[in-house]
Copies of this chain bind each other. A is one copy, B any other.
Amino acid sequence: MIKRNTIQCSLVLNAVNKLKNHASADEVYACITNDYPNISRATVYRNLDKLAKTGQIKKIEIPGEAERFDHLTHNHYHIKCLQCGQIFDVDMPYQENIENQIINKHGFLFIGHEIIFSGICPACLKETELLH
């Protein structure tokens, strides 16, 4: 698993950093093809995975959706707007000790956790208000 510096890999990293908001592989691909139309989708996927593994970006897995990739690599939570489907960061302290609340009768080893909120984003709320 040696790491080479390829043009494609930096293009992927730059795209994620530029897109910022939880870009999907497809959005990253589209972003790159603007300037570099010959890159392959497979290469984008492979590099997203590699960058996530080396911790340079963060893979966010949202149930029932395409994977997303985040330029913010620290632990944080997300909310999905049930109306527009967008994913947003949630400003809430990371629950380091949440696992202490578990009644671990069965002897699991707990390693980490994800919290995904659902709700309505401000823009969609506003839109709903306007309908009245």
Contact = CB atoms under 8 A, between A and B. Distances in A.
Contacts of A62: 63
Contacts of A92: 101-103
Given A64-B67, A115-B113, A116-B114, A122 B103 contact: no
A110 B79 contact: yes
A117 interface: yes
A105 interface: yes
Contact of A119 (B88, B109, B115): B109
A99 interface: yes
Nearest to A92: B102
Interface string A52-75: 000000000111100100000000
Interface residues of A, number: 37
19 contacts: A64-B67, A79-B108, A88-B106, A88-B108, A91-B103, A91-B104, A106-B122, A108-B121, A109-B125, A110-B117, A110-B118, A111-B117, A111-B118, A111-B119, A112-B117, A112-B118, A114-B114, A114-B115, A114-B118
